[in-house]
Amino acid sequence: MDKDSKKILLIDDEQDLIDTLRYRLENAGFEVFTAMDGLQDLEEARKCDPNIILLDIMMPRMDGYQTCRVLKNDSRTKHIPVVILTAKGQEIDKQKGKEAGADGYIVKPFEGRDLIEKLNGYLKK
């Protein structure tokens, strides 16, 4: 993996949030790929080989916890850091994310600058 590469796969079922995050992430130097649900995410992750995945929890067809588990159990994607980005901010939700294999957990609403800093931090690990 190129250490300067910043490909991110953004998975969320809210088009407005995807558009807003795409704008911020592209301005921060990320190449952005998107998916609208967990099943589409799995296909896209294998296709675009992102450096990091930003994943919502509440999505149709397959929720973020299930998606994270599948990603972390697949030899082709288990090395990719997965950061959950969700409105579900209770400790039980964070624990479920950790148990699913998530590398990080960010609660909505969030500051755009803080999000970029956290993502860059995960990429340096």
Q: What is the pLDDT of residues 81-122, one digit of tens each?
A: 999 999 888 999 999 999 999 999 999 888 888 999 999 998
> 1 in a domain, yes or no?
no
> 77 in a domain, yes or no?
yes
> What is the span of the domain harbouring residue 111?
7-124
Q: Which residues contact 98 (CB under 8 A, 6 or more apart)?
A: 105
Single pTM value for the model: 0.91
Distances (CA, A) of 31 to 5, 25, 40, 60, 104: 8, 8, 18, 25, 20
Supply the CATH number for residue 12's domain.
3.40.50.2300
> 47 in a domain, yes or no?
yes
111 DSSP 8-state letter: -
> 13 in a domain, yes or no?
yes
What tokens appear for 41 in the block? Answer: 């995410």
> 53 in a domain, yes or no?
yes
Q: Look at residue 125 in the predicted model and tell me its pLDDT.
A: 74
> 52 in a domain, yes or no?
yes
Q: pLDDT tens across 10-59, in order?
A: 999 999 999 999 999 999 999 999 988 767 777 888 889 999 999 999 88
Is the per-residue pLDDT at 3 higher than 70? no
> 85 in a domain, yes or no?
yes
> 38 in a domain, yes or no?
yes
How far apart CA 30 and CA 99 sit, in angstroms, is: 28
